[in-house]
Amino acid sequence: MNQPDSGPAPVLALTDISKSFGAVRALQDVSLHLYPGEAHALAGENGAGKSTLIKTLAGVHRPDAGQVLLDGEPVVFNGPADARDAGIAVIYQEPTLFPDLSIAENIFMGRQPRTSLGRIDRRAVHGATAALMTRLGVDLDPERLARGLSIADQQIVEIAKALSFDARVLIMDEPTAALTGSETARLFSVVRTLREGGAAVLFISHRLEEIFELCQRVTTLRDGRWVASELLGGLTEDDLVRRMVGRDLDELYPKQATTVGGTALSVRRLTREGVFRDVSFEVREGEIVALAGLVGAGRSEVVQAVFGVDKADAGEVHVGGERLRAGSPTAAMAAGVALVPEDRRQRGLVMEASIERNIGLTGLDRLGSGGLVRRALERGRATDWAVKLQLKYNRLSDAVGVLSGGNQQKVVLAKWLATDPAVLIVDEPTRGIDVGTKAEVHRLLSSLAAEGLAVLMVSSDLPEVLGMADRVLVMHEGRLVAELPRAEATEETVMAAATGRLAGEGAAA
Amino acid sequence: MNTLAKYLRWDTVVGVLLIAVFLAGSGTTEGFADTANLSAALNDTAEIALIALPMTLLVVAGQVDLSVASMLGLSSALAGSLWEAGWSFELIVPICLLVGALGGLLNGWLVTRVGLPSLAVTIGTLTLYRGLASVVLGDKAIADFPEAYAQWATYTQTVPGTFVPYPIALFAVLAVVTAVVLHCTAFGRSLYAIGAQEDAAYFAGIRVKRLKLVLFVLAGFVASFAGIVYTLRYGSARADNGLGLELVVIASVLLGGVDFDGGKGTLGGAVAGVLLIGLLNNLLTLNDVSNEIQVIVTGLLLVASVLTPRVVTSVSERRQRRAATAAPATA
Ligand SMILES: Nc1ncnc2c1ncn2[C@@H]1O[C@H](COP(=O)(O)OP(=O)(O)OP(=O)(O)O)[C@@H](O)[C@H]1O
Ligand SMILES: [Mg+2]
């Protein structure tokens, strides 16, 4: 191990922690030391045990063996509240907001400032929330209800919640997975300030460049075991990947050349009042078109209207030349459209249902005849896709809720790829997916496109957009502001359009 | 995770309990295991059992229909008043069924189109349908229905060679059909998805509203049919027939392990729940236990059915926890 041997003692440490869930050994003899003033990365593939480790630190899970040490003393946290009282702020991988409470109420849940009369001081709550939002550089109304917030916005609220008390330890499980570059940059500058003030930070991300940008040390896990704890200074991204995966990795963006065919999806003047306006574009067979933009630009809303889960106020969607009935996902599916939604917990998956049931849900009419569902076909469909996407699971009859975040995302992809679509719309397809599998997903999308599939991809991951897309459409504040062919799409041009510096110019043809 | 809770499926427990009650009854109570008594005991649950089928589908889909017993009453009152007016029974039955389906349609429409929660909607229509029943028949009681039909509904006539009365035989057939629908069809799969996570079901292209509507119509239809059965079985059409029966139906379904939050449960469990409550009540009656006590026993069973899985979970969690806290001390 490579730890600073002089200087302060670890503020928080795990020693020889093991944790199993039934037959799944999620952690085995893992140790981790977190020092004040350091940003420490936790790396590993999907299902390596990162979230389990964090939940053990935070008192959500009890370790089967091993100890948690706070300032060198063994502690037993009985739940997240204990951890919080000890000054540990945790941002979990999946946002857990109360949908019927406002953003401000969510952030100050259970510890609202009070007036002298003992009533909740609404104005103070509002003000503090607004201040947090300014600090994070986002424009979210503190009074807005959490219901209906995009995943990225929910993530921001979770971050604000963690920052709202003066934590000595800040633990973040993939906080940036749904964020674009600019929100991430803001978050990092806030985190740096905390770190300089002596706080310890534990950070998880599958975007390796973020790890190198923010952190000084990294601990790598593989299959629930500790692999290495070392300074990032001497490492390359390839070194880190090798630690995580145990082998070298192929190309991350294996873009295949394709021959572009006829128009598969055509969106004409689509409008939803107050959300997006006058959006027109086409996606042709064999083409991967990316929809880029900042968080809140309306990208997810556009694709949801295209698929029909939201009803547009005006405009038309044509698939394969036929006009789609508005507001009917069933009709969209029948026309060969598939949508992998952004929010996997609410919309992508039935969390308490099994892996095979979830994958089967989009093809119930194909799993037998006369409305009957044949178990063997259902299982076969699930098995096929579990193998293709290298799903890490125990049994196909396990609830998807027990899978690691990245593996849940694979199930959502599987469920939609299994419908054999003509137009595939993916909203953040690789959110929370590890580098190795990301490359697999990209390879898959690329080869499907080569076979004539039309792909529309919403992604906040700019390298992914630039690496995979034949064309990049950029949205800014609900309007399509730029259309860039692959050759012209660079980080600068996309960001310029996304931040509105291009507004008015070159709207999509 | 926690082994005890995993292997101890509640619907199995209810099945075992059912057998235990049967064995205990045969051992202790004279006449309990006689075929005539069993026929009577089964037939006494006919309406509850019939309505429990669509109710199970509704609860699995995260919905509930509290208006079923009122619909039973309305159907009975309607049958009575038409019979009194001299209509032929062959015409009365389809009219009652149509009214039932329309009542279900109203429930479903309010839930899916207006977007009200089913609990609120059907509390309203519970009162409405019972009120309509009183309007139709007042406080009269109509009797003297055609002998052939009345015979069909009583426990004294059984399917030849068995002790199964006809309403129960019909229920058995419908139960098998419902079980296949719930557990082996696309329709059934969709209901579980809707009950567990409605948004995810909608995003998967499932016609959530249409399916819910179908379920409510089905519930109204079956409830009105149960009203006919009830009328024939007791030989009396009254506006207050089956008062409060909806609670027994729901209790039986929940007792059978169907989760009130939706998304969980089996039809077999629900049927076992119905039979368990039916047999138990019969046994208590034979032992001269008063009606009040019977209600209390049913209530306790229900509380137990809701509590037991939770207790099992928390006990095994505590055991795990103790093991976990003991570990560092020995290390
Ligand atoms: N509550 C649970 N019950 C059963 N198995 C679980 C549970 N939680 C996690 N697991 C299993 O433990 C393993 C580690 O999961 P964990 O969530 O820690 O992975 P991770 O490293 O965070 O992955 P990801 O990058 O995908 O988020 C996985 O195989 C997962 O299926
Ligand atoms: Mg995780």
Of all residues in chain A, the percent with pLDDT exceeding 90 is 59
Indicate if ligand 1 lies below 6 Å from the C-beta of A52: yes
Instruction: Say if residue A282's pLDDT is above 60.
Output: yes
Taking each helix axis as running N to C, give the angle between helix B245-255 and helix B291-330, from 0 to 180 degrees, rounded to the nearest 10. 30
Q: Chain B closest CA to A242's CA: distance in Å?
A: 32
Helix (H) or strand (E) holding B232: helix B208-234
Of the two residues A370 and B228, the one the predictor is more confident about is: B228
Q: How many other β-carbons are positioned within 10 Å of the β-carbon of residue A508?
A: 18
Assess contact for A180 and A462: CB atoms under 8 A.
yes
Q: Specify the pLDDT at position B323.
A: 53
Q: Specify the pLDDT at position B253.
A: 94
Q: Tell which of A25, A304, A347 to mutate to test the B interface (max B CBs under 10 Å).
A: A347
Whether B305 maps to a domain, the answer reads no
> Residue B327: which pLDDT band, with cuts at 50, 70 and 90?
very low
Indicate if ligand 1 lies below 6 Å from the C-beta of A403: yes
Which range marks the domain in which residue B74 is found?
A: 47-243
Of all residues in chain B, the percent with pLDDT exceeding 90 is 77
Indicate if ligand 1 lies below 6 Å from the C-beta of A405: yes
Smallest-distance ligand from the CA of A220:
1
Whether B312 maps to a domain, the answer reads no
Cβ of A346 under 8 Å from any chain B Cβ? yes
Whether B78 maps to a domain, the answer reads yes
Indicate if ligand 1 lies below 6 Å from the C-beta of A404: yes
Whether B113 maps to a domain, the answer reads yes
Cβ of A410 under 8 Å from any chain B Cβ? no
Which residue of chain B comes nearest to A415, CA vs CA?
A: B204
Interface of B with A in 206-265 (CB under 8 A): 206-207, 263-264
Residue B193 and residue A353: Cβ atoms within 8 Å?
yes
Cβ of A351 under 8 Å from any chain B Cβ? yes
Of the two residues A155 and B137, the one the predictor is more confident about is: B137
Cα separation, A492 vs A437, in Å, equals 27
Whether B193 maps to a domain, the answer reads yes
Cα separation, A455 vs A280, in Å, equals 16
Whether B290 maps to a domain, the answer reads no
Q: Which residue has the tokens 């016609």?
A: B207
Q: Specify the pLDDT at position A53.
A: 95
> Residue B329: which pLDDT band, with cuts at 50, 70 and 90?
very low
Q: Which of B199, B204, B321 sits opposite A346 (nearest CB)?
A: B199
Q: Specify the pLDDT at position A65.
A: 93
Q: Chain B closest CA to A22's CA: distance in Å?
A: 5
What is the tally of structural domains in chain B? 1
Mean pLDDT computed over A178-202: 88
| A302, two tokens | 């556009």
Cβ of B322 under 8 Å from any chain A Cβ? no
Cα separation, A145 vs A156, in Å, equals 14
The interface pTM score, or ipTM, of the predicted complex is 0.85
List the single range of A8-12, A100-104, B1-5, B257-261 with lowest mean pLDDT. Answer: B1-5
Residues 6+ apart with CB under 8 A from A56: A14, A17, A19, A27, A62, A63, A68
The structural domains of chain A, ordered by start, are 12-97+149-245 (3.40.50.300), 251-336+421-509 (3.40.50.300), 351-418 (no CATH)
Mean pLDDT computed over A279-286: 96
Query: CA end-to-end span of chain B, whole Å?
Result: 23
Cα separation, A172 vs A390, in Å, equals 26
Q: Specify the pLDDT at position B330.
A: 34
Residue B200 and residue A362: Cβ atoms within 8 Å?
no
Residues 6+ apart with CB under 8 A from A354: A396, A397, A398, A399, A400
Indicate if ligand 1 lies below 6 Å from the C-beta of A55: no
Instruction: Say if residue A239's pLDDT is above 80.
Output: yes
Instruction: Say if residue A6's pLDDT is above 80.
Output: no
Q: Specify the pLDDT at position B276.
A: 93
Q: Find the A158 Cα to ligand 1 centroid distance in Å.
A: 21
Assess contact for A159 and A91: CB atoms under 8 A.
yes
Whether B6 maps to a domain, the answer reads no
| A64, two tokens | 């089967």
Cα separation, A222 vs A245, in Å, equals 7
> Residue B318: which pLDDT band, with cuts at 50, 70 and 90?
low
> Residue B11: which pLDDT band, with cuts at 50, 70 and 90?
confident
Whether B187 maps to a domain, the answer reads yes
Please tell me the pTM assigned to this model: 0.85
Dump pLDDT digits (tens) for B184-217: 999 999 999 999 999 999 999 999 999 999 999 9
Dump pLDDT digits (tens) for B232-274: 999 999 999 999 999 999 999 999 989 899 999 999 999 999 9
Indicate if ligand 1 lies below 6 Å from the C-beta of A93: yes
